[in-house]
Amino acid sequence: MKKILSLFLTLAIVIGLFVPAASAEPTTGATTTEFAFLVTSDLHGQIYSTDYSAGYEASGTGTTGLTRIATYIKQMRAKYGENLYLADLGDTIQGAPLTYYYAFNKPEADDPAMKAFRTLGYDLWVPGNHEFNYGLGILNRQMDYLTSAASGKETPAAIMAANYLDAQARAADPNSWKTWKNYKPYEIREFDGVKVAIIGLANPNIPKWDIPANWEGIHFAGIYETYKHYEAEMKAQADMIAVMTHCGMAYTSEAGDLAMDSVKYLVEKTNSIDFVFSGHEHGTKVLSATNTDGKSIPIVQPNTKAKAIGQVIVTYDKATKTATLVDAENIAMTQRVSGKTVPCYDIDPELGQILKPYEEATWKDYMLQVIGQSNGDYSAAGLGTAPSAFMDLVNRVQILGAYDRTGKNTPNNPDDDTPAQLSISAPLTSGSKENLIPKGDICLGDMFSLYRFENWFYQIRMNGKEVRTWLEYSASKIYENNGKLDIKGGLTYYDVIYGDGFSYTIDAAQPAGSRVVKMTYNAKPVTDDQEFTVVLNNYRFNGGGDYVNYLNSHGCNFKANDPDRIIYSSQFDMINGEDEGQARSLLVNYIKEQTAGQSKGITPNITSNWKIINSSSAKSDDIVVLYTNDVHTYIDNKTGKGLRYSDVAGYRDDLLDTHKNVLLVDAGDHVQGTAYGGMDSGATILKLMQTAGYDLATLGNHEFDYGMERALAIAKNGIVPYISCNFYHEKDGVKGANVLDSYKIFDLDGKKVAFVGITTPESFTKSTPKYFQDSNGNYIYGIAGGVDGQALYDSVQAAIDAVKAAGADYVIGLAHLGVDESSRPWTSKDVIAHVTGLDALLDGHSHSVVEQELVKDKAGHDVVLSQTGSYLKNLGQLTITANGQITTKLLSSVSTVQNWAVKELEDAWIAQIDGELGQKIGSIDSVLGNHNKDGKRLVRSRETNTGDFAADALYHLFLDQGVDVAIMNGGGVRNNEITGELTYKKMKEIHTFGNVACLQRVTGQMLLDALEWGARNADADIAKENGGFLQVSGLKYEIHTYIASTVQKDEKGVWTGGPTGEYRVKNVQIFNRATNTWEALDLTKEYKLAGYNYTLRDLGDGFAMFKGAVNELDYVMQDYMVLANYVQSFENGHVTGYKNIDGGDGRITFVFQKAPAADSGPQTGDETAIGSYVVTSTVTLLALGACLALRRRKTQK
């Protein structure tokens, strides 16, 4: 029995020599074996399955991540055992918050990505180009950990970069192939007796993308040169050769030499490679290239962000020493189910548990950190098809990040100390939120969804043709999708261009390559040879998105990464903190700066000017009327809170692209107001209006300020048509024919739209009444008004009836009337209420902001009333829809391309006038103003410091002539706030009319009547204005507003006599310079009065009481020069005093209620108890008088 048992055991042992032991490794036969390669690449930090744009609550629920790939790896490991090779091809760390946070903020911790590789048993890691973004300090730390000795379940991985050579050794010996950090260039791995040489080739273009400090000590060899160096020795040792590389197919080499970095070139120039795994390009397919033997070699590109894992399974016949099958594919990690993307694999519990503490710390200690505030919602709507506040934010950050702000980064190069003119960017966002940045707190983690890539920026030079061609390539991606514009291929490869003064229009109906139908810079068409400084990210500059290829195939000569174009790279800023120059860091810093500044956060304003149109689409039948009023020649918009004529014209141009019928009209007061009008009596303003496309205007009262001859020249200029139904010729007090056409009718595609022009009867007094008279003082021109307004109403009704009879479908009043109570019965509301047939009235004169108000006409029908305010702070838009509905709106800004012809004329005129009047004459620390804190105008109803200043200037001018009093009408003081440097131009802002100083001898009675006339509307309500309200110098007085004004005037609003009742002006006192005391006004005494011809000579504001006064000096000096002369009387031209805008120096006292009778008995004379608005300061006024006397020593200019 023992012998039999021994025989069986011996037989079993013998048989066992020929029968292989059971194994997890698959076999296909006695002479064949099967082994597998699994390769990830371009994970870009996606090691934990989280969509970082979805918020902390969604942590770990993402559809992709190394934690899901790990499940597939373990399945394959169970199948193939030792016959599985696992590698990663780099770009591992950069791109996600988790890996970013631990790279920069947790140097003491094990790197989470390297830990994952060690836990899963990765055999190889080839560094990617983005590994160098963070600097060698971080990269060395990560590599040292990856290659460190095994610990627990963690095993080391090899690092291969055969073409990364030791720079010092190469410098000493040009033939040295000593590798960087002595990493092995390749390894021989045996799979069941089959030897495979695996070589790692890294990307050699790092010097083009990163600063020298980030790759110090490395010499970068080409991948073809390197492979050929090792080819023979690998072939001698191995049965197969596999290439693992972070280089792409590179049909166009990023290095400029395909031998440097093209996998396709490498395969096509050799015959020894069996398969390739290729990273860098984020390719999603298995490609191939034909080698020199005519054999097709598979090239596997394993996608990006853990969306797939590349796989090659080799079936190898050991007997013939050939691979009978090389099965290459990408194993997708997601699939579409019922229209949704879902994961194919669960999260590996072991790796998920290991990485979870990293993920939690990333959120709580980093991502949820508040970095600033948003003052509004940054909408995601229309991103790419219309200007976006978010894209404007990104482009602003790019411009501000791509120049040497401190001058210290490149101290020897001043060329890069200026921000670029333009910025190019694609909407590199992720997620699908309604608002990309919601109003409220902004967290640091938000940056990863707002800007997905860790790009940096170059400021480079491009010419106009290159910029246009760049836009053409972007525009070629636009298509119509179910009636809406969409972008082919998504937004990542679609660029918009931003820059102050830069604008463009894309017509989607035109053929690709000819879609940029308008491109301007500072309103002028861009020429092909025009040079620009432009910011773009490193990816685009490298040729990413195929823009460079497109440029070069369309007549441009643009070399990717051309060093001769570079002005600045934000990589310079990485020296200060390794990552300071990258996109997200720049975005974070900008948000922090804005939150810490006056704006207290970022505000979603759209400032870019571009649009996409479709010229094949039908234009709207709506009739649009754009309207302005009371521009007063404010053409420069220095405050930034209004428009310019070039904006208005540009907006009109835009509307004409989409609407059949667009009109542009003005409701008066457009040629006078600033030096831009006064220097040539409005001639350039008319040219601007003509160039802007104005179709019609009406006369405002200030169109008469340059005299009747000039007013008629303006109105009949043949440039812009003017209409007025109530401006007429007059003879012997009898109304004659109208001076201008009463109306104008536009026939707009069969609809007749009529405009009736209406001019305020206040033009007599708010301009200069003498302009309406002949040399004998007889009125030869009239403006229908009437004491009760009936003459005005009749004129308007007659014009309405006439246009109705002519077949008008719509009647619009184009009026300069206003809504101020002081203008009654001649307000626009009065007119509407007393006529029938108006559909709308576009108003002016009162500077009121009325967007849309419905006012009942005489028949009870609603009439739309609108007024834009003044100074082009708003543009009005009236729309008549196809069904006849009329609406109005006001636009304080327009997103449009400025009309270049108008802007060119504007800029030239502004520069000319600023040059002529911009000379500094002095300075002031106080703020000269005429409005209260609520922005309400004061100077026509209250004393202001500018009113005091203007009156004092007149007083000072005639000191040597013994002046007693100076008066200044409030309507002649026009400025907004003025402080700091004083120039002639700023004096022109105060006095815009060009009136001339005069000195007269008048009686005390005349003075009292003038003060009474100026105070006739004075009330506790500052809105009850009067342009003739008198600012004074050398005089103080009280206004008792509880006394009703009974001053007498004619139907034209001109003074005819003092009050029929009690004077409301009391306690008038004159400063006696000889005695330095105040004295009561003597009605019979003669005083020397300084003023302007408008008030003293020409009946301006109705001041007719000075008839019979004796002229001492006439037409001495123009108004703005009077002010300049006064400024220069101060020491070094530094004006002192004038501290209070509201109330000035206290020269005018308001008494709002009558004082009760005192117990001591009845009051006598003018005695009152003052319920005062301002208590007069005698001390202040005495000091003022003394100061004025001292300034006599200054010689007048």
CATH code of the domain covering residue 344: 3.60.21.10
pLDDT of residue 729: 92
HSE-CB at 338 with a 13 A cutoff on CA atoms is 0
pLDDT level of residue 446 (50, 70, 90 thresholds)? confident
Structural domain for 327, as ranges: 28-358
Select the highest-mean-pLDDT range: 205-219, 375-389, 438-452, 658-672: 658-672
Same domain, 872 and 939: no
Same domain, 152 and 271: yes
Q: CA 535 from chain center: how many Å?
A: 17
pLDDT of residue 727: 93
Any domain includes 1061: no
pLDDT in tens, 1130-1173: 999 999 999 999 989 999 999 999 877 654 433 323 433 333 33
Question: How far is residue 482 from each of residues 402, 486, 505, measured CA to CA in Å?
Answer: 40, 9, 22
For residues 1038 and 1149, the answer to whether their CB atoms sit within 8 Å is yes
Q: What mean pLDDT is reported for the chain?
A: 88
Q: Is the pLDDT of residue 3 over 50?
A: no
Same domain, 148 and 231: yes
238 CB neighbour count, 10 Å cutoff: 21
- State which of 358, 383, 403 marks the end of a domain: 358
pLDDT level of residue 1116 (50, 70, 90 thresholds)? low
pLDDT of residue 252: 63
pLDDT level of residue 1121 (50, 70, 90 thresholds)? confident
HSE-CB at 542 with a 13 A cutoff on CA atoms is 19
Distance CA 1042, CA 1062 (A): 11
Angle between helices 645-658 and 683-692 (to 10 degrees): 20
Q: Is the pLDDT of residue 974 over 60?
A: yes
Any domain includes 1054: no
Same domain, 1029 and 1125: yes
Q: Is the pLDDT of residue 1178 over 60?
A: no
H or E element, residue 906: helix 900-917
Same domain, 433 and 561: yes
Report the chain's terminal Cα–Cα distance, integer Å: 143
Any domain includes 1010: yes
pLDDT level of residue 1190 (50, 70, 90 thresholds)? very low
pLDDT in tens, 677-732: 878 888 899 999 999 999 999 999 888 888 888 888 888 877 899 999 999 998 88
Angle between helices 97-105 and 349-362 (to 10 degrees): 60
Same domain, 235 and 351: yes
pLDDT of residue 214: 87
Distance CA 565, CA 458 (A): 9
Provide the CATH number for the domain around residue 987: 3.90.780.10
Any domain includes 1043: no
Same domain, 536 and 643: no
Q: Is the pLDDT of residue 64 over 80?
A: yes
> How much is the average pLDDT of 530-544?
91
pLDDT level of residue 579 (50, 70, 90 thresholds)? low
Any domain includes 592: yes
Among 866, 862, 869, 901, residue whose Cα is nearest residue 884: 862
Among 317, 36, 276, residue whose Cα is nearest residue 194: 317
DSSP for 352-420, written as a single string: HHHHHHHHHHHIIIIIT-EEEEESS-EE-TTBTTB--HHHHHHHHHHHHHSS-SSS-SSTT-GGGGS--
pLDDT of residue 426: 87
Q: Cβ contacts of residue 857 below 8 Å, gap of 6+?
A: 832, 833, 835, 836, 837, 838, 863
Q: Is the pLDDT of residue 830 over 50?
A: yes
Q: Is the pLDDT of residue 275 over 60?
A: yes
Q: Cβ contacts of residue 698 below 8 Å, gap of 6+?
A: 666, 667, 668, 722, 723, 724, 757, 758, 759, 814, 815, 816
pLDDT of residue 887: 96
Token readout for 127 is 């560094």
pLDDT in tens, 1011-1030: 999 999 999 888 888 999 99
For residues 958 and 1088, the answer to whether their CB atoms sit within 8 Å is yes
pLDDT of residue 68: 97
Burial status of residue 357 (CB atoms within 10 A of its CB: 0-12, 13-18, 19 or more): exposed
pLDDT level of residue 329 (50, 70, 90 thresholds)? very high
Cis peptide before 357 (omega within 30 of 0): no
Same domain, 172 and 264: yes
> How much is the average pLDDT of 2-23?
40
Give a three-class secondary structure readout of 801-820.
HHHHHCCCCEEEEEEECCCC
Any domain includes 319: yes
Distance CA 15, CA 9 (A): 10
pLDDT in tens, 538-575: 888 988 888 999 999 999 999 988 989 999 888 665 44
Q: Is the pLDDT of residue 1060 over 60?
A: yes
pLDDT of residue 992: 83
Same domain, 324 and 234: yes
- State which of 910, 940, 961 marks the end of a domain: 910
Bigger pLDDT: 227 vs 586? 227
pLDDT of residue 950: 95
pLDDT in tens, 596-640: 987 789 999 888 888 888 877 778 889 999 999 999 888 887 666
Which residues on adjacent β-strands are paired with residue 289? 297
Same domain, 655 and 591: no
Any domain includes 1169: no
Query: How many structural domains are present in the chain?
Result: 4
Q: Is the pLDDT of residue 14 over 50?
A: no
* Amino acid residing at 1074: A
Bigger pLDDT: 409 vs 475? 475
Same domain, 282 and 383: no
pLDDT of residue 1170: 36
- State which of 872, 888, 910 marks the end of a domain: 910
pLDDT in tens, 113-143: 999 999 999 999 999 998 998 889 999 999 9
For residues 282 and 46, the answer to whether their CB atoms sit within 8 Å is no
φ, ψ of residue 172 in degrees (nearest 5) = -75, -35
- How many degrees, rounded to 5, is the angle at CA 272 between CA 269 and CA 278? 75
Predicted TM-score (pTM) of the model is 0.57
Range 512-521, long-range pairs (CB < 8 A, 24+ positions): 512/472, 512/475, 512/476, 513/472, 513/476, 513/554, 514/472, 515/472, 515/475, 515/476, 515/478, 516/468, 516/471, 516/472, 516/475, 518/897, 519/464, 519/467, 519/468, 519/471, 520/897, 520/898, 520/900, 521/421
Any domain includes 983: yes
Same domain, 884 and 945: no
DSSP for 545-599, written as a single string: GGHHHHHHTTT----TT-TTTEEEEGGGGGGGTSSTTSHHHHHHHHHHHHHHSTT
